[in-house]
């Protein structure tokens, strides 16, 4: 383990590096984002393969000269992208290639422009999510470790913070990571691989959905309450409630999107009507 640890030594990043001083140029990107990229590059350069364990979080944070909070967020990004995995019993391990290289998503690459441009394809994604994520929530409630539960809660709170500052991109990212953290907590490797392979498609779907759903305050509040219900059920270890909460959430998203699109279509039809003739 000592040899592996040495391979991951990186130049220190000073505490507070995400904040630029008044006398220095502002660094590009947030510290966790830059840290995730540096870790990704160093793992590739070091030739680490699936199964290699990373150093403990405390020692890795001290080695990098960053807070454990920043490191956790960077590691979560890499877990969401399929590069790292947390295993039962503790520890973070190299998992495999980035999701763009996954054979699961390879057949979809040529269809990505269509999937992004045609709104109706989001319902195909929602159907796939409905089938996968109800099972993931059910298993997660039974199998989640303390670390898994903490990660799910952290993703949930990240959604709240992003929503409060109206950062749609960060909120969509946290939403996707919340759902992927649940898939990780299921500890079903096949289910996890499929969910990771769909990460880019999932994030696109969430971004498209939020552009419409969060325009309505009551809808946005309902989504946040649904995420809380899913989180609470998994943390409580209530498998049936977790599955029901997840399926209710995804059905709500499906129905709310349909209703919003029907309202938009009615407004567009009304706008095409000729103006009324003036009365004599």
- 192 and 249 share one domain: yes
Considering the domain architecture, whether residues 85 and 113 belong to the same structural domain is answered as no
| Structural domain count, the chain | 2
Distance CA 33, CA 52 (A): 22
Partners of 94 in the β-ladder? 84
Residues 86 and 123 in one domain: no
Within this chain, do residues 143 and 232 fall inside the same structural domain, yes or no?
Answer: yes
- CATH number of the domain within which 83 lies: 1.10.10.10
Q: Does 59 share its domain with 165?
A: no
Query: Which residue(s) pair with 53 in the sheet?
Result: 93
pLDDT in tens, 248-265: 999 998 888 888 878 877
258 plus 126 within the same structural domain: yes
CA 232 to the chain's CA centroid = 18
Residue 83: CB partners within 8 Å, gap ≥ 6?
40, 43, 94, 95, 96, 97, 98
Percent of the chain whose pLDDT exceeds 90: 21
Residue 67 lies in a domain: yes
Range with the poorest average pLDDT among 87-91, 136-140, 163-167, 217-221: 87-91
CATH number of the domain where residue 227 is located: 1.20.120.530
39: pLDDT strictly greater than 80 = yes
Indicate whether 3 belongs to any domain: no
The reply to whether 233 falls in a domain is yes
Whether 20 is in a domain gets the answer no
* Judgement on whether residues 166 and 55 belong to the same structural domain of the protein: no
Say yes or no: 80 and 52 in one domain.
yes
Between residues 115 and 232, which one has the greater pLDDT? 232
Q: For residue 165, what pLDDT band results from cuts at 50, 70 and 90? A: confident
pLDDT at 272 over 90: no
128 and 87 in a single domain? The answer is no
pLDDT > 80? residue 36: yes
Domain boundary, last residue among 69, 96, 123: 96
Residue 164 domain flag: yes
The verdict on 162 and 232 lying in the same domain is yes
* Domain residue limits at 242: 105-267
Residue 123 and residue 219 in one domain = yes
Q: Are both 188 and 114 inside the same structural domain?
A: yes
- The reply to whether 277 falls in a domain is no
Final residue in a domain of this structure, among 49, 78, 96 = 96
149 in a domain, yes or no?
A: yes
Q: Please report whether residue 17 resides in a domain.
A: no
Whether the CB-CB separation of 98 and 159 falls below 8 Å is answered with no
**Domain end marker among 78, 96, 114:** 96
Comparing 217 with 131, the larger pLDDT belongs to 131
**What pLDDT sits at residue 116?**
60
- Asked if the model's pLDDT at residue 275 lies above 80, the reply is no
């Amino acid at each position: 383990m000592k040899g592996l640890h040495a391979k991951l030594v990186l130049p220190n990043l000073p505490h507070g590096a995400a904040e630029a001083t008044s006398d220095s140029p502002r660094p590009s990107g947030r510290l966790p984002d830059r840290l995730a990229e540096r870790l990704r590059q160093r793992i590739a350069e070091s030739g680490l393969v699936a199964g290699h364990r990373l150093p403990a979080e405390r020692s890795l944070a001290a080695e990098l000269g960053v807070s454990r909070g920043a490191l956790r967020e960077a590691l979560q990004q890499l877990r969401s992208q399929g590069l790292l995995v947390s295993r039962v019993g503790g520890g973070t391990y190299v998992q495999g290639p980035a999701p763009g290289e996954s054979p699961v998503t390879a057949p979809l690459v040529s269809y990505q422009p269509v999937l992004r441009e045609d709104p109706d394809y989001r319902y195909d994604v929602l159907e796939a999510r409905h089938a996968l994520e109800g099972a993931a929530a059910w298993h997660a409630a039974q199998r989640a470790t303390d670390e898994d539960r903490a990660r799910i809660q952290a993703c949930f709170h990240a959604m709240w913070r992003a929503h409060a500052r109206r950062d749609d991109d960060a909120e969509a990212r946290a939403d996707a990571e919340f759902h992927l953290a649940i898939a990780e907590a299921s500890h079903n490797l096949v289910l996890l691989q499929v969910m990771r392979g769909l990460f880019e498609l999932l994030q696109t779907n969430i971004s498209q959905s939020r552009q419409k759903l969060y325009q309505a305050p009551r809808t946005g509040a309902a989504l946040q309450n649904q995420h809380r219900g899913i989180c609470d059920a998994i943390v409580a270890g209530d498998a049936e409630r977790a599955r029901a909460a997840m399926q209710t959430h995804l059905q709500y998203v499906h129905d709310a999107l349909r209703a919003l699109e029907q309202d938009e279509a009615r407004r567009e039809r009304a706008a095409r009507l000729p103006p009324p003739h003036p009365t004599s």
